[in-house]
Amino acid sequence: MTKTSTTIGSDWGYAPAPESADHFKLKDQYGLFIGGKFVPAASGKRLKTINPANEKVIAEVADGGEKDVAKAVQAARTAYDKVWRKMSGRERGKYLYRIARIIQERARELAVVESMDGGKPIRESRDVDIPLAAAHFFYHAGWGDKLRYAFPGKSVSPIGVAGQIIPWNFPLLMVAWKVAPALACGNTVVLKPAETTPLTALLFSEICQEAGLPEGVFNLITGAGSTGAALVNHPGLDKVAFTGSTEVGKAIQKSLAGRGTRLTLELGGKAAHIIFEDATIDQAVEGIINGIYFNQGHVCCAGSRLLVQESVEEEVVTKLKARMESLIVGDPLDKNTDIGAINSKAQWDRIRDYLKIGEEEGAELFQTKCSVPEKGYWIRPSFFTRVAQSHRIVQEEIFGPVLAIQTFRTLNEALEKANNTPYGLSGGVWTDKGAKIFKVTRGIRAGVIWANTFNKFDPTSPFGGYKESGYGREGGRHGLRPYVELS
Ligand code: NAI
Ligand code: MG
């Protein structure tokens, strides 16, 4: 057998198992989706979206500006007043249900496009992103006619037009997290996807057409940060929902101050992942891998700070290294791939900067020996030991496959370290003792804490943060609250 990039250290390599990309056809150019139709940007400008695994251009998308935003907000307002708010929850639910079904029907195409546009392994887009996106629409389809049970004793009404801005790490899933609750509660939407991953949001716009969603209920404006800013600054919005960096979240909060526009923010994180000496270490090691190397570590709730009880540090680190050496980095469309391409050149540079910073700060870097393709943006799975709480690699979100490992002796020390961060999005704990789980889940100030597992998501379960990780919840009954008026 010839050695491939997926050969792992011995002659027992994996033969390539690429998913084909010939079962669908993408267009060369996509417009904005306004009032139920695809239209070019008023300026005529376009952006290219590339495949980060080979740096090739996949398609060009419209670069939306203020005029386009104004048109989209107007379309959303008209649809809200004339159609959507008046429709019964039961009827609205049917549209959401249809959208969910079409996502399932087009799942294979959506998964491949997600992996091509953003670099994530096909196994993840196929088994996590796309099924969860469909599940989110199914779940919210069910709420359509039951909102009064979600808020007993209250009269529930929608709030109006929502402007929503999403990041590039879970492109279609973030569309679902934003759009499904908004529509289920009777609001209309103008959404801006991230500039590096607009394609599945464009396919989602096609799905809305296919589902016969009344025109203007969902509108899509592609573009970069300035397009997002134009959306946020439009006075016609009743609500803004943002997922992305803490820096941009703070800027949005400032620009909305005093306007009475509602805001929810889902921002960065630096989650503590705590391993006690009584944990099942082999399973905990799988949890660590899933916590930080899932989706190249481009995960706001990633378990990026590992806290290991001192007595088992050596065992955990030895087993972790051995397991990491079996991770395959490479072609996102190959079903063997564990770690795909870094989403963009900018993010690749940012992660490489942090690798340098960590070494300059005096931490010790471990990286696996796997080979990586020549073209494209890749980072081998990495971790730092000998880190101090004050190191930037412990305090700042790296958003890549880079773990910082610290030790602790007592539960209280673990909690103190876990909470010593400006963020508060997620956390994790591995132990045999239920009592310790309760102490940790009560002791960490974070929105989501996993016990003896990590990175598990479900539409029924609220997700969101504290402190600089933002506010507001998505998913579950709590996730409906930002989209309703109660009286
Ligand atoms: P970003 O926050 O700039 O991008 C997220 C979205 O916001 C994109 O759609 C972008 O076009 C839009 N945006 C950018 N500037 C805007 C503005 N002034 N007004 C309105 N919308 C704006 O994130 P970026 O630069 O791609 O990544 C930088 C770092 O942010 C990452 O390294 C990571 O640490 C963090 N991040 C966190 C995410 C999360 O899920 N919590 C998601 C993406 C990034
Ligand atoms: Mg792309």
pLDDT digit string (tens) for 365-421? 999 999 999 999 999 999 999 999 999 999 999 999 999 999 999 999 999 999 999
Q: Is the CB–ligand 1 distance for residue 263 below 6 Å?
A: no
Residue 212 has a pLDDT of 98
248: pLDDT strictly greater than 50:
yes
Give the pLDDT band of residue 26 (cuts 50, 70, 90): very high
Please give the average per-residue pLDDT across 250-275, as a whole number: 97
State pLDDT tens for residues 270-279.
999 999 999 9
Residue to substitute in 173, 227, 245, 298 for testing ligand 1 pocket (most ligand atoms within 8 angstroms of CB): 245
Q: Is the CB–ligand 1 distance for residue 243 below 6 Å?
A: yes
Give the pLDDT band of residue 125 (cuts 50, 70, 90): very high
Q: Is the CB–ligand 1 distance for residue 304 below 6 Å?
A: no
Residue to substitute in 248, 253, 263 for testing ligand 1 pocket (most ligand atoms within 8 angstroms of CB): 248
DSSP H or E segment with residue 161? strand 161-165
Of ligand 1's listed atoms, the one at least distance from the Cα of 469 is: 41
Domains and CATH numbers, the chain: 29-267+469-486 (3.40.605.10), 272-451 (3.40.309.10)
For residues 317 and 53, give the distance between their C-alpha atoms in angstroms, rounded to a whole number: 30
8 Å CB contact between 474 and 430 = no
CA 160–ligand 1 middle distance (angstroms): 25
State pLDDT tens for residues 425-465.
999 999 999 999 999 999 999 999 999 999 999 999 999 99
Give the closest residue to 227 by CA, choosing from 53, 73, 118: 73
Give the pLDDT band of residue 12 (cuts 50, 70, 90): confident
Of ligand 1's listed atoms, the one at least distance from the Cα of 350 is: 32
State pLDDT tens for residues 284-298.
999 999 999 999 999
For residues 200 and 116, give the distance between their C-alpha atoms in angstroms, rounded to a whole number: 10
5: pLDDT strictly greater than 60:
no
State pLDDT tens for residues 159-206.
999 999 999 999 999 999 999 999 999 999 999 999 999 999 999 999
Give the closest residue to 272 by CA, choosing from 103, 454, 127, 92: 454
Residue 11 has a pLDDT of 63
Q: Is the CB–ligand 1 distance for residue 468 below 6 Å?
A: no
CA 374–ligand 2 middle distance (angstroms): 18
CA 117–ligand 2 middle distance (angstroms): 4
8 Å CB contact between 317 and 364 = no
6: pLDDT strictly greater than 60:
no
CA 106–ligand 1 middle distance (angstroms): 28
Average pLDDT, the chain: 97
Length of the chain: 487
8: pLDDT strictly greater than 70:
no
* Catalytic center residues: 266, 300
Residue 2 has a pLDDT of 39
Please give the average per-residue pLDDT across 218-239, as a whole number: 98
8 Å CB contact between 168 and 197 = yes
Q: Give the closest residue (by CA) to ligand 1 atom 6.
A: 167
For residues 304 and 300, give the distance between their C-alpha atoms in angstroms, rounded to a whole number: 9
Q: What percent of the chain has pLDDT over 70?
A: 98
Residue 3 has a pLDDT of 41
User: Nearest bound ligand to CA 463?
Assistant: 1
Residue 10 has a pLDDT of 55
Q: How far is CA 222 from CA 32, 68, 238, in A?
A: 6, 10, 20
**Beta-strand relationship, 29-30 and 56-62:** parallel
**Beta-strand relationship, 382-385 and 402-408:** parallel
Residue 345 has a pLDDT of 98
Q: Give the closest residue (by CA) to ligand 1 atom 16.
A: 225
Give the closest residue to 308 by CA, choosing from 282, 270, 272: 272
For residues 232 and 241, give the distance between their C-alpha atoms in angstroms, rounded to a whole number: 9
29: pLDDT strictly greater than 60:
yes
User: Nearest bound ligand to CA 196?
Assistant: 2
For residues 342 and 374, give the distance between their C-alpha atoms in angstroms, rounded to a whole number: 13
Q: Is the CB–ligand 1 distance for residue 255 below 6 Å?
A: no
Give the pLDDT band of residue 342 (cuts 50, 70, 90): very high
Whether the full predicted model's pTM is greater than 0.75, yes or no, is: yes
Side chain identity, residue 439: K
7: pLDDT strictly greater than 70:
no
Q: Give the closest residue (by CA) to ligand 1 atom 35.
A: 245
Six-digit token pair at 229? 């800013």
User: What's the maximum distance between 2 C-alpha atoms anywhere in the chain?
Assistant: 69
1: pLDDT strictly greater than 90:
no
Six-digit token pair at 96? 């959401």
94: pLDDT strictly greater than 60:
yes
Q: Is the CB–ligand 1 distance for residue 426 below 6 Å?
A: no
Angle, CA of 142, 148 and 153, to the nearest 5°: 155
Residue 13 has a pLDDT of 82
